[in-house]
């Protein structure tokens, strides 16, 4: 690890971050994939963290917002953050108070069920789809019951 190689790694890291945000682990992995020596990549990540240009907690919060806008539940968001290399402590802080977008959840259900009275198989397909999106069974049951009540009132 020469001073020159560390400087090149830092420049490359800044260039990578200028394209899109990364977690510390994600940036390290990306730098190594691009041919930066592991020691230099670790130096660049640490230096950018010291300069407060790399913040895993803020990154995790931004990912939570993005996933909420996609209509994902907390379980899927947690898995996505883990996949991106965010540490468990930051995941917990970012998910603290996370509420899925209720309107997107109801819209998903209404789109899948349509206007007809759903049969058991249709309800199961919708439930399974919501489970894959990261919603808990309690959230799914609550949303399904609310939508079925709305459908019954119409």
46 and 61 in a single domain? The answer is no
Nearest to 87 by CA among 119, 116, 55, 41: 55
- Domain limits for position 20: 3-54
72 and 108 in a single domain? The answer is no
Whole-prediction pTM: 0.83
108 and 149 in a single domain? The answer is yes
50 and 86 in a single domain? The answer is no
How many domains, the chain? 3
Which string of DSSP letters, residue by residue, matches 118-131? P-HHHHHHHHHHHH
135 and 147 in a single domain? The answer is yes
Q: Dump pLDDT digits (tens) for 16-42.
A: 999 999 999 999 999 999 999 999 999
CATH assignment at residue 30: 1.10.10
| CA atoms of 60 and 149, how far apart (whole Å) | 36
Q: Dump pLDDT digits (tens) for 96-147.
A: 989 888 888 888 998 888 877 788 898 999 999 999 999 999 989 998 988 8
């Amino acid at each position: 690890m020469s001073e020159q190689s560390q400087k090149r790694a830092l420049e490359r890291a800044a260039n990578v971050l200028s394209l899109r945000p990364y977690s510390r682990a994600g940036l390290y992995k990306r730098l190594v994939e691009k041919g930066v020596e592991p020691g230099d990549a670790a130096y660049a990540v640490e230096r950018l963290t010291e300069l407060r240009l790399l913040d895993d907690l803020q990154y995790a919060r931004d990912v939570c917002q993005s996933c909420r806008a996609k209509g994902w539940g907390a379980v899927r968001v947690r898995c996505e953050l883990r996949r991106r290399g965010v540490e468990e402590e930051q995941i917990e802080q970012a998910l603290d108070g996370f509420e899925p977008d209720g309107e997107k959840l109801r819209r998903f259900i209404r789109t899948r069920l349509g206007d007809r009275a759903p049969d058991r198989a249709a309800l199961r397909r919708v439930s399974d789809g919501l489970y894959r999106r990261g919603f808990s069974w309690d959230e799914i049951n609550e949303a399904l019951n609310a939508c079925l009540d709305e459908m019954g009132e119409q």
